[in-house]
Amino acid sequence: MASNGVNGEIPEDANEHCPGPQSESAGKADACAGCPNQEVCSNAPKDPDPDPDLVSIAERMATVKRKILVLSGKGGVGKSTFSAQLSFALAEADRQVGLLDIDICGPSIPKMLGLEGHDVHQSNLGWSPVYVESNSNLGVMSIGFMLRHPDDAVIWRGPRKNGLIKQFVKDVYWGELDYLVVDAPPGTSDEHISIAHFLKASGIDGAVIVTTPQQVALIDVRKEISFCRKVGIKVLGVVENMSGLKQHLSDLKFSRVSESGSETDVTEWALNLIREKAPELLDTFACSEIFDSSQGGAQKMCLEMGVPFLGKVPMDPQLCRAAEEGRSCFEDKSCSVSALALKGIIEKLIALE
């Protein structure tokens, strides 16, 4: 849909979800309705020659062994936390890892990798990823590095997002990589269509989908699986995140709530009572279901849809703290509950090499 769609480029004034002027559905798709370029696109001859940008992308991706998308049906399920910790774990397993953040409007990866305030630099080979100081095996690229201020909003339509994602996969020089982990925004929007299109020639090894256990989240995960099947991306598996709260009892806070609703902290009293009456409880974990999983959660959904279930990760305040501080949850024993669960999931992904 482009009166100025030279070489298949999607113009600035195109509708959202534009299929592209070289697509067979150009000017005919539902997304084309009302576009100022609709008539031109529907009558334009389709170029039989390969898109030179796609050729360049395939050449750039030739040094990347495996490409994994991390997806989610909804926001707020911990997808980016999983992407960050997956990348940390792969790098700590002596893999060369690139983490590409294509969540254009909500780039949280720089913070989760401890890279806020860094800038993107350019060399004669292309854009250079920003590397994690504690692990030179892990490079990161995100629009977050390009914002003047971290609070700046990115208010872009689909074509501009599409253009930046193309630059990320065409112009970033990753070098030799064992893994390129792509952290995508929630849902099935322009970013997903773009990355699937741009990496089609070089191949995507598969997608990991992150969800929480309740049906409200799983409804959208089913759509995510359907999207993957329609665009030819293998679903490597589903991760059930925030699968119940699991916290060391000694880390809990205790309170009394009066009939009027006022709250009094009684943590010190409660812990002293436990130390006196049942000290062995201090070595246990308190567990609680946060989301309703009575209908079987992600595991049952995977069985119904015929996709692998990779495992459950409990809600762990220590993991949340690691993400806030931009560090690996595997570097010490503070995240023992979640780190063990994540390690089991990541080992399954490594076994697919």
Is 79 annotated among the ligand-binding residues?
yes
Longest dimension (CA), the chain: 83
Over its C-alpha atoms, the chain yields an Rg (Å, rounded) of: 23
Residue 302 in marked binding region: no
Q: Is residue 80 marked as binding?
A: yes
74 is in an annotated binding site: yes
Residue 277 marked as a ligand binder? no
Beta strands in 13-55 (DSSP E): none
Determine whether the annotation assigns residue 329 to a binding site: no
Q: Is 105 annotated as a binding residue?
A: no
**Residue 67 parent element (H or E):** strand 64-72
344 has binding-site annotation: no
Any binding-site annotation on 111? no
Cα dist from 20 to 1, 12, 239, 249, 296, whole Å: 6, 12, 33, 56, 41
Residue 41 in marked binding region: yes
Residue among 196, 236, 238, 203 nearest 221 (CA): 238
Evaluate the CA torsion angle 135, 234, 167, 146 in order and state its sign: negative
Is residue 178 within 8 Å of 95, Cβ to Cβ? yes
Task: Give the annotated binding-site residues.
Answer: 18, 32, 35, 41, 73-80
Task: Give the annotated binding-site residues for ATP.
Answer: 73-80
Task: Give the annotated binding-site residues for [4Fe-4S] cluster.
Answer: 18, 32, 35, 41
